[in-house]
Structure 1
Amino acid sequence: YVFETLGYRRYEWKCDNLNAPSKHAAQRFGFTYEGLFRQSNICKGRNRDTAWFSMLDSEWPDVKARFEHWLKPSNFDQEGQQIKHLNDF
């Protein structure tokens, strides 16, 4: 939607550097790690480092194809569980 409909050239994912599940999700979904914005703000009384990830419009077609294969009905068993993980595509 953001690339095809809104015409974005770049989409960003930012999260607390201590949030390992969020960082893992960003990479799993096809975002590229760009770097760490150190002491970007204060959260709950501590300095927070922000991890930055991005996806470019030129990368989207390959990422989209992976999602389409991952979400195909043939990738689900009788109980609705996925057979292959997104990283397998």
Structure 2
Amino acid sequence: MVPQALSRRHEHGAGHPRDAGLRRGEIMALEWSDIDLTQGRLTVARSEFRGHVTSTKGYRNRTVPLSDDLKRALEQHRMGGPRILHPSAQPAPDLEK
């Protein structure tokens, strides 16, 4: 379930988190706190698998640049809630120990 603003851009091949090299589970677990629109980057800190938040595949965070199209899509998509694709979901637990 990709929000309409992001899915429209995806149909045209631009402005989707996969353009930034994110895996499906990493996209599903993205939170607004992971996005830095000012600096044009996002931090991949967690993944989601079968409804459970987990570590990333490599067990470490990484920072990736946002394309201009993806940045615009995210700015237009902003709504309440901590999760990007699940606005009503609770924030993921801190996975770093």
- Is this a same-fold pair by TM over 0.5? no
> Which structure is richer in relative contact order (CA contacts within 8 A, separation 6 or more)?
2
**Shorter-chain TM-score tier:** under 0.3
Q: Normalization by structure 1: what TM-score?
A: 0.27
| Structure whose CA Rg is larger | 1
